[in-house]
Amino acid sequence: MLRKMMTHMLIIVLTITCFIAFIEKSLADPLIQYQYLTNFEKTEFNEVIWFWNVDTLYGSVHSNDFIGVKGGWFGGQVSTSQGRILMRQDLEWDRYFANEPIYDAPPVWFPSDFPHLRQAANPRISSHENRYMTWIRMMGEDGIDIFQYPHGTERSDSLLVHLEAPFYQVIHVEGDVEIEGTLVGALTVYSSGDMYLLDNCIYEGADPQTGEFEEEDMLHYLGLVSGRDIIVKDTEANGRANGVYIEPENMDRHSIIITAALIATNGSFTIEHLNRDWELYQGPVPDRRGRIIVNGSITQWRRGYVSRSEHEGTGYAKRYYYDNRFQEGGPPGFRGRDRYMIQGRHDYLYLRNQEYQYNVQNANIGSLTVDEGVNIELVGPQPIIIHNNLDLRGTEENPIIIRPRVQGEPSLFRVERGQNSIIRLSYVIFESNITAQISCDSLIVNNCEFNGAVNWEGTINVTNSTFADRASMTGWNQLAVSNCVFEDGLDIAGNTRDGHIINNTFVKGTDFGLRLRSYRNLEIVNNIIAFNEAGIENRNRRILTLSHNN
């Protein structure tokens, strides 16, 4: 049941959505796989944010950056993409690692946007160019109330819409949002602006003092996803004005409990009012607000402060638990058993092996690295463009497979030449109707299978590969093709100064088995050229070296 009680005009876009068709991350998705995940551990001002002895993290921790540890208790696996962890040796007694840290771990990719959440959202709420703040209050079995009020004014309980307890739902707020309350059901709130946590955000049935719950019995899921920062609001419920010392036994006066997946892939998870010198508001001395207790996961682009030394101590101690259900499930838009769509612009992507395939549609990628065993499905006629480097790292036991979503429909896998672009393809299978169009500085291909057309340009080195459709290779400087099978012929063009076509098989071509359009220096040795419509066509006047071909 929806109710609308507003005096000013507000627009809600309500869409009919089949939630079963969500395009989502897999169980190997690092956004909810780690209990704590960051891209940067330093601030914008290059300050290291240290872990201290008041910090307790029970789950796995990963950062693409150097992790700074002066103290703390780490009960899960800690890993970093750097070669070491920054540690104060004189404080060694004040820290504990249950497992030896892992160094030089592969970096984790952070998407900048979640278009699949916007597509699945119901309702979608406009902030009217950020003139209005949206306030979401979860009320357990009584559902969800959503309010709006003008930015910069007192919070108003003027109801915008009431929702029943969500079965499986995404709410998208185009702007800033405030959220609090108790959840029954499965909900993801996705804001394009900042997200403010006014009070506990907790599952019905979780312990209101600790946030703990029996995972096997818990049915509720909450995702809190912000396009900017996720901020613990400085409210009385969250410990405003030294609340933990004023009423230490009253959890309603300090600390905050969050049972959710917190995701801020363009911003930070941080707190309001850090009492820095330039801030207009200054809290008391000290200004300790209790603990941030998270039973779920925290993902942030750049680590934010939740505790500072200003005012003899400002903010919170940490107690972070991991919700192990996220290994196989998750909040709407991040369920483990569903597939993930890659869309939009990305500077760099690293695709790890996972149980389910990646889907790619209208993706514009700077550089792409893909692990062995990954399955990629291309959606649409021109689903992907790569501009710089491409590294597809398949193995004989676990090749990378790239296929079109609809068998029989053509799809283009396109690489444009960037600055010093290097393309490496190893044990990759391109299924039928995929055209591999690659322009680069250096192309190295081995043990690959191409079932669609090939159109390549660059310095090319190809070995032990098969081509089911006609291939075109424009070589600059070097063109080396050896131990390959071409089932519909090969066209050679370009300004190749060092060309070698050796130990290949050209068969069943509907045209010439080998067509030579242009080259500087080329040798063709020990090849089988048979059962084609014709043998070799040489359109170049330069001398060609032919030897021991059949």
pLDDT tens by residue, 133-173:
999 999 999 999 999 999 989 888 889 999 999 998 999 99
Collapsed DSSP state (helix, strand, coil) of residue 311 = helix
Q: What is the mean pLDDT of the chain?
A: 89
Q: Does residue 5 lie within any of the structural domains?
A: no
Q: Looking at 24-28, 341-345, 483-487, which range is the least confident one?
A: 24-28
Identify the residue whose tokens are 């909040």. Answer: 331
Last residue in a domain, options 327, 361, 395: 327
Reported as a pLDDT band with limits 50, 70 and 90, residue 29 is low
154 and 70 belong to one structural domain: no
Q: Does residue 26 lie within any of the structural domains?
A: no
**Residues facing 377 on adjacent strands:** 359, 403
498 and 457 belong to one structural domain: yes
Position 22 scores a pLDDT of 31
CB of 326 closer than 8 Å to CB of 296: yes
Instruction: Give the closest residue to 177 by CA, choosing from 220, 137, 140.
Output: 137
69 and 123 belong to one structural domain: no
pLDDT tens track for 271-312: 999 999 889 999 999 999 999 999 999 999 999 999 999 999
Position 30 scores a pLDDT of 64
Last residue in a domain, options 327, 355, 382: 327
pLDDT above 50 for 23: no
Q: Does residue 489 lie within any of the structural domains?
A: yes
Percent of the chain with pLDDT over 70: 92
pLDDT tens track for 374-402: 999 998 888 999 999 999 999 999 999 99
Identify the residue whose tokens are 């995701």. Answer: 263
User: Sign of torsion, CA 134 137 138 141?
Assistant: negative
378 and 445 belong to one structural domain: yes
CA distance to 37, 284, 308, per residue, from 128 (Å):
33, 36, 35
Q: Does residue 25 lie within any of the structural domains?
A: no
387 and 277 belong to one structural domain: no
347 and 476 belong to one structural domain: yes
> How would you list the strands of the sheet with 86-87, edge to edge?
50-51, 68-69, 86-87
Q: Does residue 102 lie within any of the structural domains?
A: no
183 and 49 belong to one structural domain: no
**Residues facing 478 on adjacent strands:** 498
Domain that holds residue 41: 35-97
Reported as a pLDDT band with limits 50, 70 and 90, residue 28 is very low
Total number of domains constituting the chain: 3
Instruction: Please provide the DSSP assignment of 386-453 as one string.
Output: E-S-EEEE--SSS-EEEEESSTTS-EEEEE---TT-EEEEESEEE-TTEEEEEEEEEEEEES-EE-S-
Q: Does residue 495 lie within any of the structural domains?
A: yes
Which tokens sit at 140? 């357990």
Percent of the chain with pLDDT over 90: 69
Whether the predicted model's global pTM rises above the 0.95 cut: no
Phi, psi of 512 (to 5 degrees): -65, 140
202 and 347 belong to one structural domain: no
Position 343 scores a pLDDT of 76
288 and 418 belong to one structural domain: no
168 and 306 belong to one structural domain: yes
pLDDT tens track for 501-539: 999 999 988 889 899 988 889 999 999 999 888 888 888
Last residue in a domain, options 303, 327, 351: 327
138 and 272 belong to one structural domain: yes
Measured CA to CA, the distance from residue 521 to residue 14 in angstroms comes to 65
Q: Does residue 335 lie within any of the structural domains?
A: no
46 and 150 belong to one structural domain: no
CA angle (192 as vertex; 351, 384 as ends), nearest 5: 35
pLDDT tens track for 361-378: 888 999 999 999 999 999
Q: Does residue 108 lie within any of the structural domains?
A: no
